[in-house]
Structure 1
């Protein structure tokens, strides 16, 4: 039987890349275009205020994707990532400066407005699957944006943050594939696996999609990682299905998988649903 375990972290032939060295420290100049012509000035002002505040933050979203892949596309907002404990400090800082602040979702998202323009303050995903931690800052990179050198999330964290964004109106699978294609040497695959340990099947789905999209580039995904994930799948297939009916699709889109919970008896992200035999209680 093949050994599907990931190689030891210190094995000389399978060492994880030094993700602080595989790409230059200043990755690139981020140059997305803006849906609103007035946005660039507002974002430049916001970044200047963030830097002046001394509060730790990272840029993500289109700016990070542009830096790692070279893709230039229009963006409607600015994604500012921070740790949950720093989010209130950032929001209050801008509120004290006269900006309008909205706590859109206490679990992960606040917004800072000036008129119709805004930027997001993000500290997790809607499902809570990808909380921003100190590790994001330890593995951050730098870019030139709005005339300043600022930090962006690393490519490993970029993949992780986008892996769960799969809604009818927004699907970030292409962003995941493009990041793997263009920045695979800087991705720490073991750290990515650790991030997605509980959701390893979702990681496998993205990797298989990458292989299908780019058949000539299949080898950029480490062989040990595919062996590990396929080994888990082979082992899982020997087990009976779970007793509790759950719908983890709610981690991807609460709206698109609402019927599963409201009408079909599947458990939500928390709480209980029906059991596989149709009952709702266990003695």
Structure 2
């Protein structure tokens, strides 16, 4: 069982009634078809932190192999589907309104796999019983979002403020893997933002991360190609590095599942989507 108890705010007040009905029908359709999914985004964040805010869409985490089945189900209900970015994101449209179907992160680092569906807490969203994405997975997916127009560090700080003492830290460290510096950066900022709550991060977590940092400082300089991993944090802000300075794009290394075509499409989408941003970026 998950140690979390979702606050389960209905969020009726934060969503236009017509849009809420679209969300509600979609959730019921997925439940009725017995297709696994997890509610994330603004809704799950409210469950874990109590922070209520308006939202322009609904984020559902799914297995990639379930997308075609979900698309057929949605189309039978009269909604349009689109595999917007094949490496991570699809959408369900009801006129101008939409739902995001997320099966990876925009940088290709955090695919939705069976680990996401373990020990999830239950909640009622818009009156529909659903499973919520785990706090650990919410933190993992938000950790890499550092665009100029969107930075999810505040969300992570609030997740930690409310839940740090209940997180599965061993699993979280394992999930970050070679990206442990990103986790350390967020934990360091958390201690700055909430100095009185620093002790909520287990000592052994900070010690292990600092040991890794110390070990790295004493390693010989890397001899491999110059890589810019900044593209794993922002799809736009480090294009100068890979296009003009000769750095290898971090998304085209073993750190990510993205292909050169994925990167090109994701980059072309930058100007098409401004001034708005989509869920789960970068």
TM-score by length of 2: 0.85
Task: Provide the rounded CA distance (Å) in 1 between the counterparts of 2:28 and 2:57.
Answer: 16
Task: Provide the rounded CA distance (Å) in 2 between the counterparts of 1:144 and 1:22.
Answer: 17
Match of 1:50 among 30, 49, 54: 30
The question of whether the paired residues in 2 share the 8 Å contact of 1:166 and 1:253 is answered with yes
The offset of 1:44, in angstroms, is 1.1
Which residue in 1 is equivalent to 2:9? 29
Q: List aligned pairs for 1:1-283, cutoff 5 A.
A: 20-24=1-5, 26-31=6-11, 33-34=13-14, 36-243=16-223, 244-268=225-249, 269-270=251-252
The question of whether the paired residues in 1 share the 8 Å contact of 2:157 and 2:186 is answered with yes
Secondary structure at the aligned position of 1:74 is classed as coil
What 5-or-longer segments of structure 1 have no aligned partner? 1-19, 273-283
Task: Provide the rounded CA distance (Å) in 1 between the counterparts of 2:128 and 2:43.
Answer: 13
The question of whether the paired residues in 2 share the 8 Å contact of 1:33 and 1:73 is answered with no
Report the RMSD for the aligned CA atoms in angstroms: 1.7
Which residue in 1 is equivalent to 2:268? none
Which residue in 1 is equivalent to 2:265? none
Deviations 1:142-169 (A, max 9, x none): 1111112110111111111111111111
The question of whether the paired residues in 2 share the 8 Å contact of 1:95 and 1:101 is answered with yes
* Larger Rg computed on CA atoms: 1
Stretch moving more, 116-125 or 134-143: 134-143
Deviations 1:75-118 (A, max 9, x none): 10000101111122212211233211111100000000010111
The offset of 1:27, in angstroms, is 4.3
TM-score by length of 1: 0.85
Provide closer, same or farther for how the CA distance between residues 36 and 21 of structure 1 changes in structure 2, counting only shifts above 3 A: closer
Secondary structure at the aligned position of 1:227 is classed as helix
Stretch moving more, 33-42 or 95-104: 33-42
Task: Provide the rounded CA distance (Å) in 2 between the counterparts of 1:92 and 1:232.
Answer: 47
Stretch moving more, 103-112 or 243-252: 243-252
Size of the aligned set, in residue pairs, is 252
What 5-or-longer segments of structure 2 have no aligned partner? 255-282
The question of whether the paired residues in 1 share the 8 Å contact of 2:191 and 2:198 is answered with yes
Task: Provide the rounded CA distance (Å) in 2 between the counterparts of 1:32 and 1:166.
Answer: 29
Secondary structure at the aligned position of 1:80 is classed as strand
